[in-house]
Amino acid sequence: MPAVRPLSIIESLRARIESIERRGRHARSVLAFGIAAMDARLPGGGLARGAVHEIVGGGPGAADGAAAALFAAGIAARAGGKVLWCLTRPDLFAPALAQAGLSPERVIYVQGGEEKTVLACAEEGLRHGGLGAVVAEITRLPMTASRRLQLAAEESTTLGLVLRRWWRRDEVAECGQPNAAETRWQISVLSSAPLPVPGVGRPRWRVALTRARAAEQADFELEACDDAGRLAVPAALGDRPVAQTGGRRSTAA
C-alpha cells in the first residue's frame, strides 16, 4: 500500500476545516438607520446584524444615560422580533421605551444580580438565534467578554447591543478601554427645537460614531426616535454641509 504523503493529509484537513467554517458562517445583513449620511459611514450601509454594537451616554448624567437607552430601544424596535433585555436592576421605564418604538409585549426582561450574570444571559440569547436583538446593560465590558458576545452573535443573525451604564462618575473612564464591539456610539442630549406655540419640541440628540471597523468617526445632530424607532434629521439642518471638526467628521445628516 502506498504511503500517504503528510502534505496530502494537511491539505485534506484544511479543506475540511474550510468546509465546516463555510457551513457555520451566515451571510450578514445590516439594519439601516434610513438616514443617508449615517448609513454611508457604516460598512454595508447600516448596523451589521450578527454583531455587537456598543452604546454609551455622552456623560455621567442621567439625561445622557436615558438618551443612550432610548437610542438602543429604537434600534431594537426596528430589528424586529422579540428583544431580550438583560440588566442588573429594574429601572427601565416601559412607556418611554414604547415611545421609542419598543412595545412592552416584545421585550423579555432578565434581571441578573451581577454583571457577570447579565453577560452570560446575553451570550445565551445571542446564541439562541430566534431573537431580533439582545441588549446587555453593563458598566464594564472586558475584552474577553466582548469577544464571547461577538462570537455568539456571529453564530446567528441576532443584533447585539451593549448599553454601558455609569452609576458613579469614576466609571466613565471604563469607556475608553478597547473591546471587540464592531461600533461604538455616544449619545448626548441637546436642546429641543423651539416651537411657535408653548410646549416642548421633539427631543434632539448628538449621535457620535466614535469607533467603527473600516469607517471614519462622525457626529450627527438628530431628532430622537419616534414611535417606530426612527431617527430624523431636523428640518432646519437638512441642507447643512458636512464640516470637519477636530479630526472627526461632523454633519447634521
**Residue-wise DSSP of 206-222:** EEEEEEETTS--EEEEE
DSSP state of 232: B
**Residue whose grid cell is 455568539:** 152
- Size of the chain, expressed as the number of residues it contains: 253
Q: What is the CA radius of gyration of the chain?
A: 20
User: How far is residue 172's CA from residue 58's CA, in Å, rounded to a whole number?
Assistant: 10
CA quadruple 148, 150, 151, 154: dihedral, nearest 10: 160
End-to-end distance of the chain based on CA atoms, in angstroms?
A: 70
237 burial class (0-12, 13-18, 19+ CB within 10 angstroms)? middle
User: pTM (2 decimals)?
Assistant: 0.82
The answer to whether the CB of 97 falls within 8 A of the CB of 85 is no
What pLDDT score was predicted for residue 24?
46
User: How far is residue 74's CA from residue 72's CA, in Å, rounded to a whole number?
Assistant: 5
DSSP state of 60: S
The domain 49-251 belongs to what CATH superfamily? P-loop containing nucleotide triphosphate hydrolases (3.40.50.300)
The answer to whether the CB of 251 falls within 8 A of the CB of 218 is yes
SS3 204: strand
What pLDDT score was predicted for residue 194?
75
User: How far is residue 188's CA from residue 222's CA, in Å, rounded to a whole number?
Assistant: 10
pLDDT in tens, the chain (253 residues): 455 455 567 667 666 665 554 444 455 799 999 999 999 999 999 999 999 999 999 888 889 999 999 999 999 999 999 999 999 988 899 999 999 999 999 999 999 989 999 999 999 999 999 999 999 999 999 999 999 999 999 999 899 999 998 766 665 566 667 899 999 999 999 988 777 666 567 899 999 999 998 788 999 999 999 999 999 999 876 545 444 444 454 555 5
The answer to whether the CB of 134 falls within 8 A of the CB of 122 is yes
